[in-house]
């Protein structure tokens, strides 16, 4: 198995009675090739079902046509959804995407930064958690790099993200607007060198400060449902439990929701709940989840675009930062549900 049946340019050339280079020219649409020659070659090409050998082409051109997408974990819905868009955006450039998982570990992020396991890739899109700006600045590997989902201003690399501070402020304002006063933030991280947690925390604080409300902050280690559930349990044990919780992402919120419901609390009557990410789960949970919906398709498209510019553009242009859009989507977990309907209805998109 695996024996390459593929015809090479040489095979085509032989059959068409022309030189290898002429075939190459036809294949690439290059140069001036006479109509008759072109026709003859194309005849043979399709007859032998010629497929270029990309290893060879890449060797020759120094490009691989493959980029890496390095994420903390593919099985977090947000990243899975984002990946889909990245793959689609890359496909338009005929790029392939290999996915690497860092598990948020510093060591694995480092390894990504200096080469994807020796495979040459043309560029890397990294969603960083552990690695810091200084270390990024110091990296030696010349592979094009775009940071995704966080925003280190004046950082050492191109990056794209939504305005996390403002988004967090919007959510918090939304909760405040409901009349809640004991609003907790769930999802601060202790050890994150980069990542979005500090930004979202800052947005929360701005809003709370603006209204003279007291802060309550629950920390987690990872953005996962179980951590959200546990942190929520912790909040409920406090002397003055919150009447609203802004979870730094939807997974945490869904974990928190589980805890609230299994404690017999009503959402949003007893505790209003909001997340961030707009993963699909939150559109079908009961209650449905209020959240911030980043424009994932835009994020992906911009990331790929930036990478393209890095790869093809002049070597030296300064790092760019680009913002992507988002919108606040208020759903049942803050607004309350409409009364039980005899006729079923799906949640809106």
Partner DNA sequence: CAACGTTGTTTCAACGTTGTAAACAGCCGC
Partner DNA sequence: GCGGCTGTTTACAACGTTGAAACAACGTTG
User: What is the footprint of DNA within residues 32-91 (CB under 7 A)?
Assistant: 32-34, 36-38, 50-53, 56-57, 59-61
DSSP β-bridge partners for residue 217: 185
Give the span between the Cα atoms of 147 and 159, in whole angstroms.
4
Nearer to DNA, 57 or 182 (CB): 57
DSSP β-bridge partners for residue 22: none
Tell me, rounded to whole angstroms, the distance of Cα 285 from its chain centroid. Answer: 22
Give the span between the Cα atoms of 188 and 215, in whole angstroms.
12
Q: Is 14 in the site for DNA (CB under 7 A)?
A: no
Tokens encoding 118: 């020796």
In the 8-state DSSP scheme, what is residue 116?
Answer: B
Residues 54-73 contacting its own copies, CB under 8 A: 54-56, 58-59, 62-66, 73
Q: What track of x and - describes contact with its own copies for positions 101 through 140 (by CB under 8 A)?
A: x-------------xxxxxx-xx----------------x
DSSP β-bridge partners for residue 161: 323
Binding region for its own copies (CB under 8 A) out of 30-38, 183-191, 206-214, 336-344: 336-344
Note the residue count of the chain: 349
With a CB cutoff of 8 Å and minimum separation 6, the contacts of 18 are 37, 40, 41
The nearest distance, CB 257 to its own copies, in angstroms, is 7
Tokens encoding 192: 């994150």
Q: Select the residue interacting with DNA from 1, 3, 4, 345 (CB under 7 A).
A: 4
* Pairing verdict, β 291-294 and 326-329: antiparallel
Q: Is 200 in the site for its own copies (CB under 8 A)?
A: no
Q: What track of x and - describes contact with its own copies for positions 237 through 256 (by CB under 8 A)?
A: -----------------xx-
Give the span between the Cα atoms of 278 and 293, in whole angstroms.
5
Binding region for its own copies (CB under 8 A) out of 28-36, 38-46, 83-91, 176-184: 83-91
Q: Is 28 in the site for its own copies (CB under 8 A)?
A: no
Total interface residues for DNA by CB under 7 A: 32
Q: What track of x and - describes contact with DNA for positions 286 through 325 (by CB under 7 A)?
A: ----------------------------------------
């Amino acid at each position: 198995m695996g024996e390459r049946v593929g015809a090479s340019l040489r095979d085509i050339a032989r059959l068409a009675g022309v030189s290898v280079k002429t075939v190459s020219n036809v294949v690439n649409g290059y140069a001036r090739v006479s109509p008759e020659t072109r026709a003859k070659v194309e005849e043979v090409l399709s007859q032998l079902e010629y497929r270029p050998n990309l290893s060879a082409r890449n060797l020759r051109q120094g490009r691989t046509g493959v980029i890496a997408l390095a994420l903390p974990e593919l099985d977090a819905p947000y990243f899975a959804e984002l990946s889909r868009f990245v793959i689609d955006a890359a496909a338009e450039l005929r790029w392939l995407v290999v996915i690497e998982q860092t598990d948020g570990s510093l060591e694995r992020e480092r390894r990504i930064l200096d080469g994807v396991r020796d495979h040459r890739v043309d560029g890397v899109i990294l969603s960083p958690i552990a690695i810091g700006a200084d270390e990024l600045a110091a990296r030696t590997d010349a592979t094009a790099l775009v940071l995704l989902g966080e925003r280190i201003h004046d950082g050492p690399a191109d990056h794209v993200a939504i305005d996390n501070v403002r988004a967090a402020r919007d959510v918090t304002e939304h909760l405040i607007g409901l009349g809640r006063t004991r609003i907790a933030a769930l999802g601060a991280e202790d050890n994150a060198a980069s990542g979005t947690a500090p930004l979202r925390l800052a947005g929360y604080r701005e809003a709370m400060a603006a209204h003279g409300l007291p802060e309550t902050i629950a920390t987690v280690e990872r953005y996962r449902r179980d951590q959200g559930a546990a942190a929520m349990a912790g909040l409920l044990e406090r002397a003055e439990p919150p009447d609203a919780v802004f979870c730094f992402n939807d997974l945490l919120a869904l974990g928190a929701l589980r805890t609230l419901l299994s404690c017999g609390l009503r959402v949003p009557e007893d505790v209003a709940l909001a997340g961030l990410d707009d993963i699909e789960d939150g559109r079908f949970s009961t209650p449905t989840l209020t959240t911030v919906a980043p424009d994932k398709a835009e994020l992906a498209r911009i990331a790929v675009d930036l990478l393209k510019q890095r790869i093809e553009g002049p070597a030296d242009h300064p790092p760019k930062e680009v913002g992507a859009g988002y919108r606040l989507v208020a759903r049942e977990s803050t607004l309350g549900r409409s009364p039980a309907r005899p006729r079923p209805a799906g949640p809106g998109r």
